[in-house]
A and B are shown apart, each in its own frame.
Chain A
Amino acid sequence: MHFGPHLLLAALEGLVTSAVLALMALGLSLVFGVMRVVNVAHGEFFMLGAVLAWAISTAISGHPALGFLAALVLAPLIVGAVALFAERLVLRRLNYNPEATIVATIGMLYIIQQLALTFYGPEARPVEPPFSYRILLPWFGYSGYKLSVIAASALLLAATWFVLTRTKIGLIMRATQYDSETAQAFGIPVDRVYAGVFALGAMLAAVAAVLIVPISQAHYLMGQDPLLLSFIVVIIGGLGSLRGTLVAAVLIGLSDGIISVFFSPTLAKIIATLLVAMVLVFRPQGLFGTASR
């Protein structure tokens, strides 16, 4: 294939990666930014979303779009409820102590993974996309669904951005993030905000999972790699910066795609990872973080 089309394909692929990554990282960033909790179980909420998407979509017969849409609504709600429960039961009791929450979320990771293995099984199971339309370009074919994932993610990101910057809920969340004590002095129930943020973060991961699951499959170990990438995105973007998270997700997704054009796959991964690490070495506060925190 010629260089131009190859690059186009790599860029498209990169954008799909970015789209899903941005949603998931946004969830992580909220939890990390507002609660200062390093949520190691975030990837498991992602996995749970995918597994539920499979369960819901197979339970609903008829056109695949029906099952998919049901999953898109229900899976995040259920995952949010699970997260809420975990937050009330465990994280709050730990006073959100950073070190203790790492252990606790590792514990959650084990629990969710094991439950998925026991009740869902070790197989990778596919979810039928709501529509399958193959876009025929002069050089190659491309999945229409993948393009719609980019669009859906953009839409959801815009919605999240709107909620965070233009609504009372967003105002309350940001106030809690910047100064939780002062927020309390203005009647903000920080405790409940934390619970909500944790649930919302998990829901964003679940939405990302529902979107991606018709492309890849639901599998009980699928949470780990996206978790690591999300952490990278959050930090590269700069903690608490919505814009940074988005830019970093695009940067990482695209660089992953485009570098693969020039090198053999594993070497490309090495170079892409090293490059992103170097960004952080020379800009420790991330792309859009402020110098001192």
Chain B
Amino acid sequence: MKDASPAKPYALHLGVIALLFALSFVLPDYHHGLLARIMVLAVFAMGYNMLFGYVGLLSLGHAMFFSAGLYGAGLAVIHLGWSVPAAFAAGILCGAALSLVIGVLALRTSGVAFMIVTMMFAQVFYLVILYFASWTGGDQGMVVPQPARVLGFGATSLDLTNPTVRYMSALALFSTVLLVTLAVVRSRYGRVLVAIRENEERTKMLGYDTFSNKLAAVVISGTICAASGAAYALLFGYVGSSFASVQYSILPLLWVLLGGAATTLGPMIGTLFMYYIVDITSGYTSAYLLIVGIALILLVLFFPKGILGTIRQRWLGWLP
């Protein structure tokens, strides 16, 4: 943030988006499909980063926001027969509403207590999904039927199960959230969030209602994560409780820490890294988790602030 000139960061981000667009035409099928999935989950990580990276609030409960979107959209299609846009909106709304409630309660705490409270609320959410298994399909989950996953525009329609459409939809969501994140981070509001992270007491004494600002950040973060969940349900056709389990709260944390907290592109890098290291190593050995574990430790030893975070610190100070 030392360099106030916006040209470089925007050029970089647009470049990344353009690269991802171009990749759609050259990637082999498998990587094409995998990248679509990574982009959707990177949105989850970006939503997480919004709160963790910029406001400094470590939540271990973001799986609930992701799955609020997942179930909000998925169940709207399955039980109510809603169209894709309506279901997507429903998923996002569920995430926004849930994050508002959770925010109001959890923000009474801070630090490790915030971490544990969010984890417990997420656990409640997970159990609620199991408890209402007759609607949610419990741990088995439910399939969002293929015919329902079509986006109609009058006469023409876009089939979200078509790989290219899916890739482009994922890219559209990813780009939107990336640019929104960049804009928020560079905005006055973003400056306030960072100020809260750096010194909340001081920020209060500059006339900021830090509670409301943090609450807004929780809601923005939760909503972005819900958008990712809703997109996941609609693009990949499955809703299930494993996405609400604690692993899916730890994963975005891991992705963000790997890529670099409080960097706009870090979440994507972290998600990409984690996905490919699992994918590649599992092809060579059945004991791939060992290699993943060692890789994580090596990475954190040499890139203590995450990949992009360390690059920014050492070489490219202008990275947003």
Residues of chain A having any CB pair with chain B under 8 Å: 32, 38, 40, 90, 93-94, 97, 99-100, 102-104, 106-115, 117-118, 224, 228, 231-232, 235-236, 239, 266-267, 269-270, 273-274, 276-277, 280-282, 284-286, 293
Contacts and interface: CB of A to CB of B under 8 A. Distances in A.
B147 interface: no
Contact of A235 (B113, B131, B246): B113
Contacts of B110: 284
Contacts of A293: 111
Contacts of B128: 270
Contacts of B293: 106-112, 114
A277 B120 contact: yes
A103 B290 contact: no
B297 A90 contact: yes
19 contacts: A100-B257, A103-B300, A106-B293, A106-B296, A107-B296, A110-B289, A111-B294, A114-B290, A118-B287, A118-B290, A224-B246, A232-B120, A269-B127, A273-B120, A277-B120, A280-B109, A281-B108, A281-B117, A284-B113
Given A90-B301, A113-B289, A277-B121, A103 B296 contact: yes
B41 to A, nearest CB: 17
A110 B296 contact: yes
A108 B300 CA distance: 12
A141 B70 CA distance: 45
Nearest to A270: B127
Interface in B294-308: 294-297, 299-301, 304-305
Interface residues of B, number: 42
A266 B296 contact: no
B123 interface: yes
Contacts of A281: 105-106, 108-109, 117
Contacts of B119: 228, 231-232
Contacts, number: 120
Given A107-B296, A114-B288, A269-B127, 9 more contacts: A102-B253, A110-B296, A117-B289, A232-B119, A270-B131, A280-B109, A280-B117, A281-B105, A281-B109
A276 B304 CA distance: 34
B261 A104 contact: no
Contacts of B287: 114, 117-118
A252 to B, nearest CB: 11
B258 A103 contact: yes
Which of B106, B120, B124, B301 is the most central at the interface, judged by chain A CB atoms within 10 Å of its CB? B120
Contact of B254 (A106, A269, A274, A284): A106
- Give the one of B109, B115, B292 with max A CB within 10 A: B109
Contacts of A239: 112
Contacts of B261: 99
A57 to B, nearest CB: 26
A252 B105 CA distance: 20
B98 to A, nearest CB: 14
Contact of A94 (B290, B292, B304): B304
A266 B250 contact: no
B194 interface: no
- Name the 8 nearest CB pairs between A and B, nearest first: A110-B293, A107-B296, A111-B293, A284-B109, A114-B289, A277-B120, A107-B297, A114-B290
A103 B306 CA distance: 10
Contacts of B108: 281-282, 284
A110 B290 contact: yes
Interface string B125-139: 001101100000000
A231 B61 CA distance: 14
Nearest to B297: A107
A15 B113 CA distance: 25
Contacts of A282: 108
B116 interface: yes
